[in-house]
Amino acid sequence: MSSAGTEPPLLIAQEVGHTIGDDGATLPTVVIDVSEHPEIADLPRVHAIDGIGDVATAAVKTGDAVVLGVRLSRPVTAAFAVVFDLRRHKEFLLDVAAARSLTFATTIPERAENDRPLWLSVDIDEDALRAVITDP
């Protein structure tokens, strides 16, 4: 996984939307391309086996972008960040804040119904994300 001194991968939010969980809940979901980052692609499998562990998230606004960083420290150590275009994704990010969670789709969403892939879902600090999004 990401080692000390190595910059975490910076990924682009490709598509955003909502998926329906097994319990019927609507889950804010972002599609990210992890094809160049097998250590990130493997996180959903690891967490399905070992549990979610310790995850921290933080968001910063830079110009018209919001960068959401995710750092995992247990059961594995890894980090990555996703860039959202605030002009296109503001309402979605407000949905993420309200839901207090974000699901990262690491496979093609159109194949999800048949493939039943494992995706990574993390808790989000509602107040902190909302403050970043609405900060002038």
Packed helices 86-99 and 126-134: angle between N→C axes, nearest 10 degrees: 160
Q: How confident is the model at residue 92 (pLDDT cuts 50, 70, 90)?
A: very high
Whether residue 3 is contained in a domain is answered as no
- The number of folded domains in the chain is 1
Whether residue 4 is contained in a domain is answered as no
109 versus 79: which is more confidently predicted?
A: 79
Mean pLDDT of 92-114: 86
Whether residue 126 is contained in a domain is answered as yes
Q: What is the pTM of this model?
A: 0.88
Which of 95, 98, 103 is closest to 47 using CA atoms? 103
Distance (Å, rounded) from C-alpha 28 to C-alpha 92?
7
For 85, list phi and psi in degrees, rounded to 5: -80, 110
Question: What are 8-59's pLDDT values in tens digits?
Answer: 999 999 999 998 888 888 999 999 999 899 999 899 888 888 877 789 999 9
Whether residue 1 is contained in a domain is answered as no
> Cα 128–58–54 angle (5° rounding)?
110
According to the model, what pLDDT value does residue 116 have? 66
Mean pLDDT of 57-77: 94
Q: To which H or E segment does residue 17 belong?
A: strand 15-20
According to the model, what pLDDT value does residue 21 have? 82
69 within 8 A of 84, measured Cβ to Cβ: no
Domain that includes residue 124, residue range: 10-134
